[in-house]
Amino acid sequence: MESESIAAVEIFFFPFVGGGHQIPMVDMARIFAHHGANSTILSTPKHALPFQDLIKRDQSSGLSISIHILNLPENVDIANTDMSASPQTDTSILQESLQSLLLQRRPDCIVHDMFHRWCADTIDSYGVTRIIFSGNACFARCVQENVRLYKPYENVSSDSEPFVVPGLPEKIEFTKSQLPGFFRNQQNGHQRRFPISGKKEFGVVVNSFYELEPAYAEYFRNEMGNKSWLVGPVSLCNNNVQDKFERGKKTSMDEQRILSWLDGQTPNSVLYISFGSIARLTTDQLVEVGYGLEASNVQFIWVVGRVFKSTENDQTNQGSVLPSELEYRIRESGKGLIIHGWAPQLLILDHPAVGGFMTHCGWNSTLEGVSAGVPMITWPISAEQFDNEKLIADVLKTGVKAGSMHWTSWNDNPPPTLGRDKVETVVKRLMGGGEEVAEMRRRARELAEKAKKAIKEGGSSYKDVDALIQELKSMKKVGNPIDTLDHQMVSKELS
Ligand code: UDP
């Protein structure tokens, strides 16, 4: 990949403790290791479990990558579920352990998740180059920034009246109901999403590729002033069946059963349905999805994830929430596979039988759908998922909207239920063929080609990874400016 005249750069990756943020950062660490960096993933004993075998395999194939376990006080753990910490989860209990590590090993750079809100000051006090990973696309970041800056929602008279987000390269419309709750409840104030530090981060790494959103990549860099590297789609580093099968978590259904069911279907005939690792639908909504799917008469794989808790303390409300007669009929008809729990998403999306993806528009899933070249049914719920829906359905025109209108927080009351008729209509629209969908499919395939090209040698993301590594190398030669005073102070505090 590159000549090693000076030592390889040492990069720490500090993912957040949740599926949708941890998964892409592990991929990213592997990509940087493939480009010649020494990658270290910082994790906790429990959160490292899902990817430790993968990293061992990488190590035995000669890749310079490792996991560093940050110590936790005895009997303490962050988030009581393994893959589903909410963005509000406080991880500052890891601070001391991170400080000791930075003191011992002085990495050339640390890429940290924006949800570790406390860690900017800690890292800056050691003079370590700090890069943020937000998990969002450039498009979403541009939308969020201009909504915040220009407050276009103040000029509408109701939550359902559309408005245009000013200043963007294209006409992007939202309603107030699709914005995060704090825009509607001004008294709650604007929650800070990014780490606070006296010093600005060195830059931002983005899981996206330039050709997907060129106008927004430029806007993000030039208008918003973000030094950034687009290094994705990072999921494409998983190019063998085992990596895809084990990504994120051990899956709930045998890989062979899924693959042989898919092998028996015709190309582009199967709809894959998943709402990601955190999103919860109510039992009522799941039932409507189930009957809608049945009525649409398409073949499908449906990952029935978590449901809304019935009470605050109810952590166990998972699993068989569908009416047993519906599940029985689906099983008997052979029309669909229902996976309760975790599915090997990349393996499924990449199968030629899969011709559509109903998604909650988490950015990873959205980008994985793009990389697999499948058109989507967009059903956003929370976070920046409505932004991702606009990118897919309005800008790239590779998807149709299910009709979700209400942004809902992790702990809000659930949004209104979309009825089975709506589900049936939108599924038939995407999977039924016709000119509109043929055109979407063509565009989706074209984007998938561009995605694959971006990460190959000479591609835009490939070049961005190399550019960042080169920049860190040149800083290494000059010497990383360390704030010695701060550093000594922290050393004292720790001793
Ligand atoms: N995922 C998976 N199997 C599942 C559910 C999710 O492999 O059954 C993966 C998916 O491929 C994606 C991540 O989990 O990489 C979910 O991230 P996303 O940003 O789409 O949504 P979030 O879970 O953060 O809401």
Give per-residue pLDDT as tens, 222-244.
999 999 999 999 999 998 888 99
- How far apart are the CA of 381 and the centre of ligand 1, in A? 14
pLDDT value at position 307? 64
**pLDDT digits 0-9 by tens, 352-368:** 999 999 999 999 999 99
The answer on pLDDT for 1 being more than 80 is no
- How far apart are the CA of 486 and the centre of ligand 1, in A? 39
The answer on pLDDT for 437 being more than 80 is yes
Q: Which two tokens stand for residue 230?
A: 């687009």
Atom 13 of ligand 1, residue of closest alpha carbon: 20
pLDDT band at 197 (very low <50, low <70, confident <90, very high): low
Atom 7 of ligand 1, residue of closest alpha carbon: 345
Contact 38, 297 (CB under 8 A): no
The answer on pLDDT for 311 being more than 50 is no
Atom 23 of ligand 1, residue of closest alpha carbon: 277
* pTM score of the predicted model: 0.92
The answer on pLDDT for 211 being more than 70 is yes
Going by C-alpha positions, the residue among 400, 419, 433, 399 that lies closest to residue 293 is 419
- Residue of 108, 113, 124, 387 marked catalytic: 113
The answer on pLDDT for 215 being more than 60 is yes
Atom 10 of ligand 1, residue of closest alpha carbon: 365
Going by C-alpha positions, the residue among 387, 385, 389 that lies closest to residue 426 is 389
The answer on pLDDT for 168 being more than 90 is yes
Show the DSSP H helices in 15-135 as ranges: 19-34, 45-60, 95-104, 119-125
Rounded to whole angstroms, the Cα distance separating 424 from 428 reads 6
207-219: average pLDDT: 98
Residue 7: half-sphere exposure toward Cβ, Cα within 13 Å: 8
Kindly give the number of the ligand 1 atom that is closest to the alpha carbon of 247.
Answer: 7
pLDDT band at 198 (very low <50, low <70, confident <90, very high): low
- How far apart are the CA of 344 and the centre of ligand 1, in A? 10
Rounded to whole angstroms, the Cα distance separating 182 from 351 reads 40
Atom 21 of ligand 1, residue of closest alpha carbon: 362
Kindly give the number of the ligand 1 atom that is closest to the alpha carbon of 279.
Answer: 25
pLDDT value at position 20? 79
Kindly give the number of the ligand 1 atom that is closest to the alpha carbon of 303.
Answer: 8
Let me know the angle formed at the C-alpha of 58 by 54 and 61, rounded to the nearest 5 degrees.
140
Rounded to whole angstroms, the Cα distance separating 232 from 205 reads 9
Kindly give the number of the ligand 1 atom that is closest to the alpha carbon of 277.
Answer: 23
The lowest-confidence range among 32-41, 321-330, 481-490 is: 481-490
**pLDDT digits 0-9 by tens, 444-478:** 999 999 999 999 999 999 999 999 999 999 998 67
- How far apart are the CA of 446 and the centre of ligand 1, in A? 23
- How far apart are the CA of 247 and the centre of ligand 1, in A? 10
**pLDDT digits 0-9 by tens, 263-302:** 999 999 999 999 998 767 888 999 999 999 999 999 999 9
**pLDDT digits 0-9 by tens, 133-166:** 989 999 999 999 999 999 999 999 999 999 999 9
ipTM of the complex model = 1.00
Atom 6 of ligand 1, residue of closest alpha carbon: 276
Kindly give the number of the ligand 1 atom that is closest to the alpha carbon of 339.
Answer: 8
Contact 426, 377 (CB under 8 A): yes
In the chain, pLDDT over 90 holds for what percent of residues? 72
Atom 3 of ligand 1, residue of closest alpha carbon: 343
Is 113 in the active site? yes
pLDDT value at position 95? 93
> Burial of 346 by CB count in 10 Å (0-12 exposed, 13-18 middle, 19+ buried)?
buried
Q: Which two tokens stand for residue 476?
A: 């290494």
Residues at CB less than 6 angstroms from ligand 1: 19-20, 23, 247-248, 274, 276-279, 303, 342-343, 345, 362-365, 368
380-386: average pLDDT: 94
The answer on pLDDT for 112 being more than 90 is yes
The answer on pLDDT for 73 being more than 80 is no
pLDDT band at 482 (very low <50, low <70, confident <90, very high): very low
The lowest-confidence range among 100-114, 187-201, 305-319, 364-378 is: 305-319
pLDDT value at position 310? 45
Rounded to whole angstroms, the Cα distance separating 53 from 249 reads 11
The answer on pLDDT for 490 being more than 90 is no
Residues 6+ apart with CB under 8 A from 267: 352, 353, 355
The answer on pLDDT for 184 being more than 90 is no
pLDDT value at position 489? 45
The CB density around residue 214, as the number of other CB atoms within 10 Å, is: 14
The answer on pLDDT for 383 being more than 80 is yes
Pocket test for ligand 1, best of 89, 134, 277 (most atoms within 8 A of CB): 277
Going by C-alpha positions, the residue among 408, 371, 405, 413 that lies closest to residue 389 is 405
The answer on pLDDT for 494 being more than 70 is no
- How far apart are the CA of 276 and the centre of ligand 1, in A? 4
343-348: average pLDDT: 96
pLDDT value at position 488? 45
pLDDT value at position 313? 44
Number of H helices, E strands in the chain: 18, 15
The answer on pLDDT for 314 being more than 50 is no
